[in-house]
Amino acid sequence: MNEGAGDDRGLVRAAQKGDEHAFRELVERYQRRIYQLALGMTKDPDDAMDIAQETFVRVHKYLPSFKGDSSFFTLTYRIATNLCLDAQRKKGRTERVDVAEGDEAEIEAAMDPPSHALAGPQREALNEELKGKLDEALAGLSENHRAILLLREVEGLSYEELARVLDIRKGTVMSRLFHARLKMQNKLREYLGDDAPKAAGSDGDEE
């Protein structure tokens, strides 16, 4: 994920000295990814574009105090994620899920025989239908679950980077990601209904 971090440092130093070209390059390097994150969070292309723009304005504002002990993209994703969460709260989506608590029902559901709808050769056939359902399933998640799923699955942040961006412990990253994935999976199961083929030998065998 952070393959450009070394290059970023030089650009950040130049931008801190007022080099607009350097800051422009940083913006162009991350604009689509930040937009992607905002789009996944808000679902609204206009809101996503506004958030992306505001993210870089704030990044620029914080540049003088940026010491480089964290990477530039971590700072950028952190600001973007907070802006997305703020925007959701302003719209009244204040759902909060205690992700530390295990949801037994969800875990039970996930232990059901896995569907071939998402995995295996039949996935392609269901892919088109799935695209629309993915948006709905994603929108049905809590903000925290949506944020961590997008940052991990779409942006490819490592667990350490997720901890820094979301300001949570690494152990919480694993737990939150697990529950987010379970919820997503269960929501997709609902959409796919009973037509989803069952996996052969689907009951878990004991070791």
Partner 1 sequence: MKKRCAEVLPFLGALGDGAIAEGDRTWVQAHLASCAACPDRLSLFVAQGAALRERVQARSAAVSFDGFADKVLARTRAEKPHVLEGTGVWTREMFGAHRGAFAGAAGFALAACMALAVVFIQPQPADDGAEASQVEEVDFGTHDGAVLQLPHDTTVIWMSDDRGSSK
What residues make contact with partner 1 under the rule CB under 8 A?
Answer: 20, 23-24, 27-28, 31-32, 35-36, 39-40, 45, 49, 52-53, 56-57, 60-61, 64-65, 67, 107-108, 110-111, 113-115, 118-120, 123, 127, 130-131, 134-135, 138, 149-150, 152-154, 158-159, 174-175, 177-178, 181, 184-185, 188, 199-207
Q: Shortest Cβ distance from residue 153 to partner 1 (Å)?
A: 4
- Angle ∠(193,93,89) on CA atoms, nearest 5: 150
CB of 198 to partner 1, least distance (A): 10
CA distance 186 to 193: 11
Q: How far is the CB of 199 from partner 1 (least distance, A)?
A: 5
Name which of 96 and 203 has its Cβ closer to partner 1.
203
Kindly state the tokens that stand for 23: 């800051």
**Least Å from the CB of residue 86 to partner 1:** 18
Where do we find the tokens 């997709």? 188
- Tell me whether residue 52 or residue 166 sits nearer to partner 1 (CB atom): 52
Q: Which DSSP helix (H) or strand (E) runs through 47? A: helix 45-62
**Residues in contact with 196: Cβ distance below 8 Å, sequence separation at least 6, in sequence order:** 115, 116, 117, 126, 189
Closer by beta carbon to partner 1, 48 or else 87:
48
**How far apart are alpha carbons 33 and 190 in whole angstroms?**
30
